Structure 1
Amino acid sequence: MRLLVVKLSSLGDVVQTLPVLHDIHARFPQAKVDWVVEEAFAELVRQAPSVERVIPVAQRRWRRSPLSPRTRGERGAAHAELRREAYDAVIDFQGLVKSAVVARRARLAPGGFTATYGNRSELCGYEWPVRYLLQRKVAMPLRIHAVARARLLAAQALGYAVPGDAPVYPWTLDVPASPPQVLLAHGTTRADNEWPAADWVALGRVLTAQGFDVLLPQAGDAEAEFAGRVAAQVGAGARVLPRMGLPALLAVMRGCSGLVGVDSGVAHMGVALDLPVVEIFSQPRAWRAGPVGRPHQRSVGGDGAPGAAEVIAAWDACWEARPVADLA
């Protein structure tokens, strides 16, 4: 069986779709799975050993110059890659017109089919025309976690029982750094997700007092300035990471001992690595995107941003509950 996963973006959504790989291979051990994804996230998907082939697309960039020779050439190459293999199933895990169009371009094997979500779920992206663009429409509950939604779609589309266990991600950790490091994932593209600098400083000081080094990533000038201010006030033991791409950041995170972050793709990467994670929510959406199924991963906040004391207490609880194998 050869399957094609269509999940183009964004970072957090791509990461939260990764558990379907384990589910599929648990039911179909010989299945070959390819994945279509935005070019910015292609290298992260390649870190999943169970993905046979990653097909990058650049829809975001192509929209800026749709008629340029480069865009036409890249579109043609991507289309050829989609037609290179014949798929028994093409599953659109995005549920948007742009992803459904990609799914339609893939070549189907005899008896093969396309599938996607049959309806909108609360706080999940969905565009109703996809019901008419793809063949099988899988009904979804109105209120469902993002990871459970993807796992349910795969199970219903491929005809196996919906898994009831905690999601399993394909990424693994390295030997933890010494002294142990905690990544503070402060960056977010949404202003209403931000957590105050004073609270990051308070958290950082507690972590360094506990013997952790504190790492602050940055992906732009504004984040670099913010991280620099926090690190300077935390003092010794806190440092700002150089600007790096997502694969390099994932490599750094593989050696970390934990993560505290706002609701963001980087925080979801920490969950996928099975680190002790505290994810900070400033809106009531933890039920849809927060960590689930593991005592060493928790969400805090909701109707408003939590205070530093609540986050520190959650971190202490997550650290105490971390897997026994990490206690050495």
Structure 2
Amino acid sequence: MAAGVQVPGPTGPRDGARLLIVRPSALGDVARTVPVLAALRGSFPNASIDWLVHPAYADAIRCHPDLREAIPFDRKGMSGFGLRPSATRKGLSLIRRLRRERYDRVYDLQGLARSGFFTWMSGSRHRVGFADAREGAAWGYNRRHHVNKVHTVDRMLGLLAADGVALQQEPDLRLYTPAEDQRWADSYLAKHGIDAERGFVCVAPTAQWRCKWWPMDRYAALINRIVAEPCCGGRVLVLAAPHEFDELLPLREALDAQAAGRVDFPPTASVGQLMGLLGRSGLVISNDSASLHLGVGLGRPVVGVFGPTDPRRVGPYGHDDAVVQPDAAREPGFTFDYRKHRDDQSLIAQIPVATVWSMILRVAGTSPDRQTSKAV
């Protein structure tokens, strides 16, 4: 089937069909896409459902009971496809694998050039995506749909509905931590004298772009208060990727003596280990980053600290009232092109520590009793 040719076809896949979700990255987006997997399983109990995902993020979904297989999408290894021999070999190998699977329907939920290309090259007769996909990705689809929804979760589920899937359930964001990573987390907590039953707070102060970072000195002041009050057991884990640890130095230096002895910086080596710690926590505090959406999927109370990004579109799903944002960002007609101002913290820095603290007290005070997340 040629790229870009729209075909009517049947309104939806048959039960027992072979289905592929294309959503390689980023980690937070992968976590937010899980409701699509659950919805497809709910509508097609006998379908075979795979997911094309970046290998580093596969831990977020590989133990989900509705998934058959996570197929690795090595973006870095395929960089230069068509130009570098090694990248071309890897890309062709992936294309051959996708074609061998003979998918009945492929859903591109990334909507970018690479995902559109591999959706097209899958050879599926029915290639589904958003009509307004970026970077020309829509040329890889032959079932393009306009979806008039705001939040990205609702948009993705709306895409299924527009393509004829009769949704059978409410959005299910549940994530499943690999058992070995849950054991690692429990061992880490025990080794550092952290009682998961008494509770602890996970703080994720970084994000892909600095404009999404609430300043480190504000996080330090907040952590000092969490320890002093105390809140949720008065122990704090500060979560960051290994390559971000140097960025945490201002936070470390601003901790007072009391807090310094009750704050840990765990060296999580994988997404699974990150999930293991988040799933045991009593509260997750995060910028607009992956930890926030993982926390939602693991059933944790969350507080989101947002700057230029719109929580109506990308906020913690179902937790609209747990987001703090500068007043300026809520004004009618507000615009801030964060892609052009990646290092500009001027907006998010307008959020006072007292405002985030008030939100913590409200969320911690009204959240249900903490439940231990599942490991599988």
**TM-score interval w.r.t. the shorter chain?**
0.7 to 0.9
1:287-318: CA deviations, max 9, x gaps?
A: 111123248x7111142432111111111121
SS of the aligned residue for 1:170 comes to coil
Change (3 A) 1:84 1:223: farther
Higher deviation after alignment, 7-16 or 150-159: 150-159
Counterpart residue identity of residue 40, structure 2: I
Counterpart residue identity of residue 307, structure 1: P
Structure 2: runs of 5+ lacking an equivalent = 1-16, 187-194, 330-346
Could you tell me which residue of structure 2 aligns to residue 242 of structure 1? 267
Contact 2:201 2:282 in 1 (8 A): yes
Q: Residue 37 of structure 1: which of 48, 53, 65 is its match?
A: 53
1:26-81: CA deviations, max 9, x gaps?
A: 21122221001122212322132321011112223432686555434422332232
Could you tell me which residue of structure 1 aligns to residue 343 of structure 2? none
Could you tell me which residue of structure 1 aligns to residue 356 of structure 2? 311
SS of the aligned residue for 1:30 comes to coil
Counterpart residue identity of residue 213, structure 1: R
Could you tell me which residue of structure 2 aligns to residue 102 of structure 1? 118
Could you tell me which residue of structure 2 aligns to residue 298 of structure 1? 322
1:94-139: CA deviations, max 9, x gaps?
A: 111211111112243xxx41100012xxxxxx32633332110111
Could you tell me which residue of structure 1 aligns to residue 174 of structure 2? 169
Is 1:153 the equivalent of 2:159? yes
Offset of 1:148 from its aligned partner?
0.9
Is 1:218 the equivalent of 2:240? yes
Offset of 1:324 from its aligned partner?
4.2
Contact 1:166 1:292 in 2 (8 A): no
Percentage identity across aligned positions?
A: 25
Higher deviation after alignment, 85-94 or 37-46: 37-46
Could you tell me which residue of structure 1 aligns to residue 31 of structure 2? 15
TM-align CA RMSD: 2.6
Counterpart residue identity of residue 148, structure 1: D
> Residues of 2 paired with 1:266 and 1:76: CA distance?
33
Could you tell me which residue of structure 1 aligns to residue 368 of structure 2? 323
Structure of greater Rg: 2
Higher deviation after alignment, 85-94 or 62-71: 62-71
Is 1:258 the equivalent of 2:274? no
Higher deviation after alignment, 60-69 or 248-257: 60-69
Could you tell me which residue of structure 2 aligns to residue 85 of structure 1? 101
Contact 1:290 1:298 in 2 (8 A): no
Offset of 1:225 from its aligned partner?
2.4
Contact 1:185 1:266 in 2 (8 A): yes
Could you tell me which residue of structure 2 aligns to residue 134 of structure 1? 141
Q: How does 1:39-78 map to 2 (within 5 A)?
A: 39-63=55-79, 67-78=83-94
Q: Residue 116 of structure 1: which of 101, 122, 129 is its match?
A: 129
State how many pairs are aligned: 315
1:252-298: CA deviations, max 9, x gaps?
A: 22221210011111221111112100010012511111123248x71
Change (3 A) 1:243 1:172: closer
> Residues of 1 paired with 2:99 and 2:256: CA distance?
53
Structure with the larger strand share: 1
Contact 2:42 2:167 in 1 (8 A): no
Structure 1: runs of 5+ lacking an equivalent = 120-125
1:132-153: CA deviations, max 9, x gaps?
A: 3211011122x61111111111
Could you tell me which residue of structure 2 aligns to residue 123 of structure 1? none
> Residues of 1 paired with 2:366 and 2:105: CA distance?
40
Could you tell me which residue of structure 2 aligns to residue 277 of structure 1? 302
Offset of 1:5 from its aligned partner?
0.2
Counterpart residue identity of residue 186, structure 1: P
Change (3 A) 1:118 1:101: same
Contact 1:184 1:261 in 2 (8 A): yes
Counterpart residue identity of residue 250, structure 1: M
Contact 2:173 2:296 in 1 (8 A): no
